[in-house]
């Protein structure tokens, strides 16, 4: 009986020993693996490049590759930014071309009453959009697509050039590693759908687009129209009073209808005075109005330029794989 118990205790102790050895063995093996893999990762990240000399395959380290991507993205941005001004010229050429026609409309009796009506009903922005910004959003979308294509092409070229330039030149010819090729090709295909300029423009048009720009111009013009209305009303006062008097004098034969006839005379005098004042106003102020309208459109052009440049910058930064944190995003921007 005692022998059996002793045998059991010995077996139990042997099992415990085996378990303990296995447990500590696992811990030691894991620690050794950790050290080995850490050293491997450390050597890869610091060597600058992993060059397999026997096959002459070259893969830049992630740090080097990141620098090459940033450089390619920066280069593509610089090249594409050069196209922004010519594209803005194309977008705004019809807008500038419609200024004389709009000025002529503004200095007409019809135009004057239309503008006053629109000032009251807040439809002036729509009117300006229809006259000055017709087809603007379509032209802007075409320009955005052009910028997207140009950026993607430039990024493709720049990335190939940057990676090729980083290949070691000494010794026998070196081939680019499969990993780098995959990353490069993935980036190039990603460039097509990463933060597209067309997307930013679409967001802009969805939020108002040409309407926003037109309202901006309408707000500036409204102040001028109201000021002009005040001056004209004072000038027209005398002409109308004279018109009513003349009308009443000429219609004195009609007896009780003289008052109505006088009122018609006043109305005729009102529009006659309007036509005269508008013509005088056009003679003296048309050039000034045109210049001011041109300045307002210059402002609108600057806003569109800022939109396109910002969209390009976002695209370039997105491709260079920069990172941020939510904390940084929440922090107030200086």
Interface ranges with other proteins (CB under 8 A) = 19-20, 23-24, 26-27, 30-31, 33-34, 37-38, 40-41, 179, 182-183, 186, 190, 193-195, 199-200, 314, 317-319, 321-327, 329-330
Residues 269-304 as b or e (16 or more Cβ within 10 Å = b) = beeebbeebbeebbeebeeebbeebeebbeebbeeb
103 token code pair: 């000025």
Q: Which is nearer to other proteins, 132 or 200 (CB)?
A: 200
Element (DSSP H or E) covering residue 118:
helix 109-121
Q: Which is nearer to other proteins, 23 or 271 (CB)?
A: 23
How far apart CA 52 and CA 169 sit, in angstroms, is 14
**Are residues 251 and 261 in contact, defined by beta-carbon separation less than 8 angstroms?**
yes
Q: Which is nearer to other proteins, 18 or 101 (CB)?
A: 18
Q: How far is the CB of 331 from other proteins (least distance, A)?
A: 10
**Are residues 321 and 71 in contact, defined by beta-carbon separation less than 8 angstroms?**
no
Q: How far is the CB of 197 from other proteins (least distance, A)?
A: 11
Q: How far is the CB of 65 from other proteins (least distance, A)?
A: 13
Handedness of CA 205, 207, 211, 212 (dihedral sign): negative
Q: How far is the CB of 29 from other proteins (least distance, A)?
A: 9
Q: Which is nearer to other proteins, 32 or 130 (CB)?
A: 32
How far apart CA 68 and CA 100 sit, in angstroms, is 51
Q: How far is the CB of 15 from other proteins (least distance, A)?
A: 12
């Amino acid at each position: 009986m005692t022998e059996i118990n002793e045998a059991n205790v010995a077996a139990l102790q042997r099992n415990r020993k085996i378990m303990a050895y296995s447990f500590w063995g696992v811990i030691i093996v894991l620690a050794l693996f950790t050290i080995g893999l850490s050293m491997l990762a450390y050597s890869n990240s610091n060597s600058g490049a992993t060059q397999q000399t026997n096959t002459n395959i070259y893969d830049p380290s992630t740090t080097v590759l990141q620098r090459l991507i940033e450089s390619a993205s920066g280069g593509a941005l610089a090249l594409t930014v050069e196209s922004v001004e010519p594209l803005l010229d194309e977008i705004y050429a019809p807008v500038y071309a419609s200024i004389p026609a709009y000025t002529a409309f503004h200095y007409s009796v019809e135009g004057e009453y239309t503008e006053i009506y629109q000032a009251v009903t807040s439809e002036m922005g729509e009117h300006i959009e229809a006259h000055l910004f017709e087809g603007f959003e379509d032209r802007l979308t075409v320009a955005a697509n052009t910028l997207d294509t140009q950026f993607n092409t430039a990024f493709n070229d720049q990335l190939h050039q940057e990676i090729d330039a980083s290949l070691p030149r000494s010794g026998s010819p070196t081939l680019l590693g499969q990993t780098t090729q995959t990353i490069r090709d993935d980036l190039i295909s990603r460039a097509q759908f990463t933060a597209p300029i067309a997307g930013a423009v679409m967001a802009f048009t969805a939020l108002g687009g040409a309407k926003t720009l037109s309202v901006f111009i309408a707000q500036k013009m409204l102040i001028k129209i109201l000021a002009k209305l005040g001056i004209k009303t004072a000038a027209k006062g005398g002409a109308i009073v004279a018109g009513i008097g003349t009308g009443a004098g000429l219609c004195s034969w009609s007896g009780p209808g003289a008052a109505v006839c006088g009122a018609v005379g006043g109305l005729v005098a009102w529009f006659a005075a309007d036509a005269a004042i508008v013509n005088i106003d056009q003679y003296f102020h048309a050039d000034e109005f045109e210049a001011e309208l041109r300045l307002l459109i210059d402002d609108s052009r600057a806003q569109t330029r800022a939109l396109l440049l910002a969209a390009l910058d976002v695209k370039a930064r997105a491709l260079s794989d920069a990172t941020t944190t939510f904390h940084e995003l929440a922090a107030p921007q200086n």
